[in-house]
Amino acid sequence: MAADDATTAAGAPTPTSVSVLFVCLGNICRSTMSEGVFQSITRPTNKPAHPLISRVDSCGTGAYHVGDGPDSRTMSTLEDNGITNYRHRARKFHARDFEDFDYILAMDDDNLDHLQRLRTREVKKLGSDEGVGKVMLFGDFGGKKRRSGRGEEVNDPYYGGRDGFEIAYEQAVRFSKAFLEDLEAGLLS
């Protein structure tokens, strides 16, 4: 995980870079879409990388597609939107990810609940939550609030048509920008 915030000569906190992990069920549609979008925003081709982002990755809570590339509809949606350099191989979430990532962003309530249970176990095992990544719903950033108070879910487009992937792309752009704005404003701790 990223080190604690440094302090400038004037005494104001200087945010350090953070690592971000996107998580869905199989790691071939939603989390890869979000990773590809976030990378395109924070690491644009032929431009310097965003100074607050040190690492970006994605994974799944299930091992259904380990080793596979993203769904072809994910890739074509990214490519249709100018993201042509994204590469990834599906992997399953591991407890070590809590140590390696500052922010772990779930695509839906089921994955969020699963990750929160795993995090609770990890904190209990370690005896502290220090150094354990924060688990959040990606749609809490820029998403519409539901009656439950939680933000939008990114619905799994796997069994549907191309329009589901286009919706997931739009959400990934909106949520990524809002997450980055909150990070830049120092609203995330």
Catalytic residue among 97, 108, 140, 156: 156
What DSSP string runs through 7-37? E-TTS-EEPPPEEEEEEESSSSSHHHHHHHH
Cβ proximity of 22 and 138 under 8 Å: yes
- Active-site residue 43, yes or no? no
d(CA 168, CA 136): 17
The pLDDT value given to residue 13: 52
- Give me the mean pLDDT over the 155-164 stretch: 95
Per-residue pLDDT band at 158 (split at 50, 70, 90): very high
Strand partners, 21: 57, 104
Cβ proximity of 57 and 35 under 8 Å: yes
d(CA 174, CA 16): 23
- Active-site residue 30, yes or no? yes
Catalytic residue among 24, 29, 73, 97: 24
- Give me the mean pLDDT over the 178-183 stretch: 96
Catalytic residue among 29, 30, 57, 102: 30
Domains, the chain, with CATH or none: 16-184 (3.40.50.2300)
- Active-site residue 4, yes or no? no
pLDDT in tens, 81-106: 999 999 999 999 999 999 999 999 99
Per-residue pLDDT band at 16 (split at 50, 70, 90): confident
d(CA 134, CA 136): 6
Fill in the DSSP letter of residue 170: H
Residue type present at position 133: G
